[in-house]
Amino acid sequence: MIYVDVILPLPLQNSFTYEVPSEFKAVQEGMRVVVQFGQKKFYTAIVFKIHNETPKNYRAKPIINVLDHQPIISNQQFKLWEWIANYYCCSLGDVMHSALPSVLKLSSETKLKITENDVDKSSLNDKEFLVVEALEIQKELSLNEVSKILNQKTIFSIIKSLLSKKVILLLEELNEQYKPKSVRLVSCLNKDVDFKIFKNAKKQEQVFRSFIDLTKENKTPLITVKELLEVSSSSYQTLNTLVTKGVFSIEEKEISRIEVYENEDLISFDLSDEQQNALKQIQKSFESKEVVLLHGVTSSGKTEIFIKLIQDVIARGEQVLYLLPEIALTTQIINRLRKHFGDKVGVYHSKFNNNERGEIWSEVLNANRFPIILGTRSSIFLPYQNLGLIVVDEEHESSFKQKQSSPRYNARDTAIMYAHILGAKVLLASATPSLETYHNALSQKFGLVTLSSRYGGVKMPEIDIEDIKYVTHRKQMKGAFSPHLLEEIEKSLLNKQQVILFQNRRGFAPVCSCKSCGWTAKCQSCDVSLTFHKQQQLLKCHYCGYSEHLVKKCKACASMEVQMKGYGTEKLEEELQPFFPKAIIKRLDLETTRRKNAYQTIINDFENRNIDILIGTQMLTKGLDFDHVSLVGIINADALLHFPDFRSYERSYQLMTQVAGRAGRKNKQGKVLIQTYSANHDIIHAVQRNDYLSMYHSELLERKTFKYPPYCKLLSILVSHTDYNITNQAARELALLLCQSFSQNVLGPEYPAVSRIKNRYLKNILVKIGADLSLNQSKRHILKLIDSVHKMSQYKSVRFTIDVDPQ
């Protein structure tokens, strides 16, 4: 008998063994199969191993179907999955769940469909007949719906029988999900139509006229049904009448879901001597190192160096993955890459819908249509056939780490591991590398190449520090703005230049609070203040999405003196406008960028100088390249500096340097103004001097003294439960056990910054694993300890969430 071990897309520790019926003998490792798991659930599973060992403890069920003709996951991908599961302490199922786009993961939610074959109903039994009948009416049913129709839980044998009688489709349905999207196009059969036929048919005439207009406008004889109906504001019926009259015909045409890019003339350029030199050093470094760090100041032209490097790699017939920390950034970089690589670049990130992602997946698997993939962290999971280089841009960004769900992997580190498995190279790049990375570079683990001046001889921006403690004391602040900042803004606007104002989101969201008793509006299920959203006049929780109407009366003392505290970007915009009534001010923050293309629109508007002042949060800092920004203002540096985290100084340095880097990128030196209460802070001075190394060395010393990365590895355990006491007790129990093995290297249990989310109480324990211990063994040991607490009857429903290398 042949058996397969499969991975299910579920958080289960084990793999499961199924039997392979003879008709599915062709199954191979890396193919998808449909299996039943539990009483009535069906899943797509991935075949992990094929063997002949009968499982000892249970009777293996048969696989129901094989979905692929070729493996969709390679051995090397499996190796990566195993590494992730092992390193980040999660299951292979978790990895599979993250790695595969949903279209590739069927489950009992999947729909059944009837085959086109003439169904011989006489061969069906009563229940089967019922299902087929329902399918004839409803076209599609999910497996769950079938179970409702039959009023029984186990429908497995019925589905199987229907499948074997070839009455219904499961496999086809799955494949169909990738079917290229189609559009319906209208063409005209008779342009010189006699308008008499429209007599008494005004609506039809309107459709016809719109059609003629559109063909002229779009310069094409084919117009989509959708556009025609929209433009002529008419109904499908009217159009259909015209088809019947022989004026129009409608045809269906398949289109790709992947946006098509017309190759315009590709641009060529030359590197400056310094860039050329850096490129040579990188290539030289790759001869002996797998990973090279390119440390180049903002606007030193790192992207241009990548482009030259990528050209070489694809000329050798290899693929390139260009990783970015955020979707937002892909929009600008894609335009830059397409100028050099045209339609050779594919984009992959989570704002694409499932079908689009499925399509890119199969493009990467089957054809080499995209030798270059530009994407966010999940693009590390695409089925590359011949990956030669991974570029990790802005490598210091914490958004490379998946924080909210398992696997809590860091795409930068995962990329390094994957490249190692594949024998590919990794180029990490940043103007402000993470301490860990720079440490690896200085200790020769990574190669290091430095670019210390901006492209084109542009000077680094001049950074001024505005001591707002002093200004506030003299009562000269105008809201959040010092007179100095307002003056500089004015100057820039007069010079027809643009301004960026940066406001850190943390701690500055406007909250609703009572003037007389200090009460603040809080979320019902989380331990956080609600944030005021002016446009919608709502108070919202940013953790669980709860919202309520603005209150006018204090809920504690009934005073009417409820006010807004804090400066969100919205408030800044409102305060700033009266100073510059003619200026166009826009915001770039979570609120204004919710819709799919909103980010791009704002960025384009700013690039095209339709916006004078752009106020934004962290989103603004990430590697954007604008030509006409002469001033960058940091509204308040303190919230960054005083955030309770061992990385807060490193992060503040990175953030301020990155925002500052948006100023004066082309032609002229830019100016940066940092408003702060801590004008004498070392970090602020390091930013001012553009002195990464002094920040690095002083921080490294702190890390060594207090034992933090890179001098140890961190593993955090979040303990959570709906009951306050149980949470505390379980956390204490676990901490005690951990202390026995790791003594003073266990921190906590402590309340995290937000100690209750969605009605669950949270407690955090941090374990430092020193270089003297085996990381792997320590993790296994910690898992065992957690398991032993979990097994105690009173803690059965406590949740333990492990995060390795928390960010």
Instruction: Considering the complex, state which of residue 511 and residue 554 has its C-beta at the smaller distance from Zn ion.
Output: 554
Smallest distance from the beta carbon of 546 to Zn ion, in angstroms? 4
Contact call for residue 521 and Zn ion (CB under 5 A): no
Contact call for residue 762 and Zn ion (CB under 5 A): no
- From 572, 545, 403, select the one nearest 485 (Cα to Cα): 572
Calculate the alpha carbon distances from 550 to 508, 509, 532, 556, 560 in Å.
18, 15, 8, 15, 12
Report what 517 binds from Zn ion, ligand ADP, none; CB cut-off 5-8 Å by kind: Zn ion
Binding segment for ligand ADP among 129-137, 151-159, 271-279, 542-550 (CB under 6 A)? 271-279
Structure tokens at 699: 């921080």
- Helix ranges restricted to H, 232-301: 236-244, 273-288
Contact call for residue 275 and ligand ADP (CB under 6 A): yes
Question: Residue 315: how many CA atoms within 13 Å on its side-chain side?
Answer: 6
Inter-residue contact 440 to 447 (CB < 8 Å): no
Instruction: Considering the complex, state which of residue 337 and residue 731 has its C-beta at the smaller distance from ligand ADP.
Output: 337
Three-state secondary-structure class, residue 628: coil
Instruction: Please state, in angstroms and rounded to a whole number, the distance separating the CA atoms of residues 310 and 339.
Output: 13
Q: Residue 740 is inside which H or E element, if any? A: helix 724-742
String marking each residue 436-455 x if it binds ligand ADP according to CB under 6 A? -------------------x
Smallest distance from the beta carbon of 64 to Zn ion, in angstroms? 42
Phi, psi of 430, deg, nearest 5: -175, 155
Calculate the alpha carbon distances from 529 to 192, 215, 286, 515, 764 in Å.
67, 55, 50, 15, 21
Contact call for residue 299 and ligand ADP (CB under 6 A): yes
Binding segment for Zn ion among 113-121, 408-416, 512-520, 719-727 (CB under 5 A)? 512-520
Contact call for residue 563 and Zn ion (CB under 5 A): no
Binding segment for Zn ion among 156-164, 559-567, 683-691, 728-736 (CB under 5 A)? 559-567
Binding segment for Zn ion among 244-252, 269-277, 558-566, 790-798 (CB under 5 A)? 558-566
Smallest distance from the beta carbon of 612 to ligand ADP, in angstroms? 20
Q: Which of 279, 321, 426, 526 binds Zn ion (CB under 5 A)?
A: 526
Instruction: Please state, in angstroms and rounded to a whole number, the distance separating the CA atoms of residues 596 and 470.
Output: 43
Instruction: Considering the complex, state which of residue 227 and residue 625 has its C-beta at the smaller distance from ligand ADP.
Output: 625
Structure tokens at 321: 């993955």
Contact call for residue 303 and ligand ADP (CB under 6 A): yes
Instruction: Give me the DSSP letters along 424-490.
Output: -EEEEEESS--HHHHHHHHTTSSEEEEE-S-GGGPPPPEEEEEEHHHHHHTT--BTTB-HHHHHHHH
Binding segment for ligand ADP among 85-93, 295-303, 408-416, 702-710 (CB under 6 A)? 295-303
Contact call for residue 30 and ligand ADP (CB under 6 A): no
Calculate the alpha carbon distances from 621 to 184, 378, 393 in Å.
43, 22, 13
Contact call for residue 556 and Zn ion (CB under 5 A): yes
Calculate the alpha carbon distances from 545 to 11, 539, 576, 759 in Å.
25, 10, 29, 13
Smallest distance from the beta carbon of 528 to Zn ion, in angstroms? 6
Write 532-538 long-range contacts (CB < 8 A, 24+). 532/564, 532/568, 533/570, 533/591, 534/510, 534/570, 534/571, 534/574, 535/570, 535/591
Q: Which of 97, 302, 396, 768 binds ligand ADP (CB under 6 A)?
A: 302
Instruction: Considering the complex, state which of residue 131 and residue 431 has its C-beta at the smaller distance from ligand ADP.
Output: 431
Instruction: Considering the complex, state which of residue 301 and residue 325 has its C-beta at the smaller distance from ligand ADP.
Output: 301
Phi, psi of 121, deg, nearest 5: -70, -15
Q: Which of 1, 189, 517, 754 binds Zn ion (CB under 5 A)?
A: 517
Instruction: Give me the DSSP letters along 209-242.
Output: HHHHHHHHHHT-S-EEHHHHHHHTT--HHHHHHH
Binding segment for Zn ion among 137-145, 524-532, 704-712, 778-786 (CB under 5 A)? 524-532
Contact call for residue 621 and ligand ADP (CB under 6 A): no
Inter-residue contact 746 to 717 (CB < 8 Å): no
Contact call for residue 68 and ligand ADP (CB under 6 A): no
Count of residues for the chain?
807
Residue with tokens 């005021």: 532
**Size of the residue set binding Zn ion (CB under 5 A):** 14
Instruction: Considering the complex, state which of residue 554 and residue 735 has its C-beta at the smaller distance from Zn ion.
Output: 554
Q: Which of 5, 128, 274, 304 binds ligand ADP (CB under 6 A)?
A: 304
Helices (H) and strands (E) in the chain, counts: 25, 34
Smallest distance from the beta carbon of 562 to Zn ion, in angstroms? 7
Beta-carbon contacts of residue 285 (< 8 Å; ≥ 6 apart): 292, 447, 448, 449
Smallest distance from the beta carbon of 430 to ligand ADP, in angstroms? 9
Contact call for residue 432 and ligand ADP (CB under 6 A): no
Strands (E), 589-696: 613-616, 629-634, 671-676
Instruction: Considering the complex, state which of residue 189 and residue 517 has its C-beta at the smaller distance from Zn ion.
Output: 517
Contact call for residue 538 and Zn ion (CB under 5 A): no
Contact call for residue 272 and ligand ADP (CB under 6 A): yes
Contact call for residue 35 and Zn ion (CB under 5 A): no
Contact call for residue 269 and ligand ADP (CB under 6 A): yes
Contact call for residue 296 and ligand ADP (CB under 6 A): yes
Contact call for residue 750 and ligand ADP (CB under 6 A): no
| DSSP β-bridge partners for residue 33 | 45, 66
Contact call for residue 509 and Zn ion (CB under 5 A): no
Integer Rg of the chain from CA: 30
Q: Which of 554, 576, 588, 718 binds Zn ion (CB under 5 A)?
A: 554
Smallest distance from the beta carbon of 506 to ligand ADP, in angstroms? 25
Contact call for residue 665 and ligand ADP (CB under 6 A): yes
- From 463, 503, 453, 514, select the one nearest 480 (Cα to Cα): 503
Query: What is the amino acid identity at position 260?
Result: V
Phi, psi of 616, deg, nearest 5: -155, 170
Instruction: Considering the complex, state which of residue 394 and residue 466 has its C-beta at the smaller distance from ligand ADP.
Output: 394
Smallest distance from the beta carbon of 670 to ligand ADP, in angstroms? 12
Report what 227 binds from Zn ion, ligand ADP, none; CB cut-off 5-8 Å by kind: none
Which residue sits closest to ligand ADP, CB atoms considered? Answer: 301
Contact call for residue 301 and ligand ADP (CB under 6 A): yes
Smallest distance from the beta carbon of 754 to Zn ion, in angstroms? 9
Residue with tokens 């599973």: 45
Instruction: Considering the complex, state which of residue 300 and residue 406 has its C-beta at the smaller distance from ligand ADP.
Output: 300
Smallest distance from the beta carbon of 296 to ligand ADP, in angstroms? 5
Rama region for 491: left / alpha / beta (φ>0; ψ in -120 to 50; rest):
alpha
Report what 302 binds from Zn ion, ligand ADP, none; CB cut-off 5-8 Å by kind: ligand ADP
Contact call for residue 271 and ligand ADP (CB under 6 A): yes
Instruction: Considering the complex, state which of residue 302 and residue 681 has its C-beta at the smaller distance from ligand ADP.
Output: 302
Instruction: Please state, in angstroms and rounded to a whole number, the distance separating the CA atoms of residues 240 and 238.
Output: 5
Report what 298 binds from Zn ion, ligand ADP, none; CB cut-off 5-8 Å by kind: ligand ADP
- From 178, 792, 594, 789, select the one nearest 800 (Cα to Cα): 789
**Size of the residue set binding ligand ADP (CB under 6 A):** 16
DSSP tag of 147: H
Report what 526 binds from ligand ADP, Zn ion, none; CB cut-off 5-8 Å by kind: Zn ion
Contact call for residue 625 and ligand ADP (CB under 6 A): yes
Interface positions with ligand ADP (CB under 6 A):
269-272, 275, 296, 298-304, 455, 625, 665
Interface positions with Zn ion (CB under 5 A):
514, 517, 519, 523, 525-526, 541, 543-544, 546, 554, 556-557, 559
